[in-house]
């Protein structure tokens, strides 16, 4: 009986070895699972599953015409008699590919019969496509509405009238109003139009001095349409 005790101890020690190996094996498997979960939650894994950046359709027009050539010389001559500078006066712009303007003015002095004053100006705004802002066309559409609202809200404007205009760009609005400046009654006619991703605004106004008749709204409204059509054609020609 005394000889069997050491033998029993050896048997129990050997029997314990597989149990320790199993426990070690379980611990190893558990560590593998944790590593897998960590990999799944790693930044690289999250980045690979992120949604792709949104894309927008490229803007059709990438260039603007020279503002002072946006209205044909013949149109300027007809709308602004005795024009001071036939070449026009360009407005300042820090980005001529996106915005530009030009103006013309003249005074037709008829002596005792009075004088007729006319002013014509054109503004061009081009919008690029941007994933965070939208397509160039949509941006131009939004800003077209803002330009119309701005024109209708001109400070001091009286009897403001607006109506859709046809045959000019993709959409256009004709705006007319009266405005008193320097004790003279001025009549304004304007067209705001959009062609693809470009907004063209043409403003035309006039007054009669020294007893001359104030120009008629309908006459200025017809004339400004011609200038706006020139502007749209100039944008299209600049991008051919």
Token pair listed for 174: 């004709």
pLDDT value at position 54? 72
pLDDT value at position 51? 56
Measured from the Cβ of residue 20, the count of other Cβ atoms closer than 10 Å reads 9
Token pair listed for 132: 């965070």
pLDDT value at position 113? 87
Please name the residue that has the structure tokens 């006459």. Answer: 219
Outline where DSSP puts E strands in 38-183. 89-90, 99-109, 115-126, 158-164, 171-181
Nearest partner of 105 among 122, 123, 88, 124, judged by Cα: 88
pLDDT value at position 50? 55
pLDDT value at position 45? 46
pLDDT digits (tens), the chain, 240 positions: 444 444 434 433 444 444 333 333 434 444 445 544 544 555 554 444 555 667 889 999 999 999 999 999 999 999 999 999 999 999 999 999 999 999 999 999 988 889 999 999 999 999 999 999 999 999 999 999 999 999 999 999 999 999 999 999 999 999 999 999 888 999 999 999 999 999 999 999 999 999 899 999 999 999 999 999 999 999 999 999
pLDDT value at position 33? 52
32 phi-psi bin (left φ>0, alpha ψ -120 to 50, beta other) = alpha
pLDDT value at position 126? 98
DSSP string for 52-81: PPP--PPPS------GGGSS-HHHHHHHST
């Amino acid at each position: 009986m005394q000889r069997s005790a050491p033998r029993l101890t050896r048997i129990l020690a050997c029997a314990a070895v597989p149990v320790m190996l199993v426990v070690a094996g379980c611990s190893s498997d558990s560590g593998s699972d944790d590593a897998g979960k960590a990999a799944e939650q790693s930044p690289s894994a999250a980045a690979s599953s992120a949604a792709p950046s949104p894309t927008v359709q490229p803007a059709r027009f990438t260039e603007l015409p020279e503002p002072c050539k946006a209205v044909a010389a013949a149109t300027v001559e007809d709308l602004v008699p005795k024009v001071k500078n036939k070449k026009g006066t360009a407005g300042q712009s820090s980005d001529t590919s996106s915005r530009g303007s030009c103006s013309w003015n003249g005074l037709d002095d008829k002596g005792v019969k009075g004088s007729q004053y006319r002013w014509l100006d054109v503004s061009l705004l081009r919008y690029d496509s941007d994933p965070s802002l939208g397509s160039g066309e949509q941006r131009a559409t939004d800003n077209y509405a803002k330009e119309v609202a701005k024109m209708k809200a001109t400070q001091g404007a009286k009897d403001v009238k607006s109506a859709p205009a046809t045959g000019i760009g993709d959409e256009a609005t004709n705006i007319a109003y009266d405005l008193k400046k320097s004790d003279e009654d001025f009549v304004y006619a304007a067209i705001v139009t959009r062609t693809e991703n470009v907004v063209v605004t043409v403003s035309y106004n006039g007054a009669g001095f020294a007893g001359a008749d104030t120009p008629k709204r309908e006459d200025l409204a017809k004339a400004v349409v011609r200038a706006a059509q020139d502007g749209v054609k100039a944008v299209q020609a600049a991008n051919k």
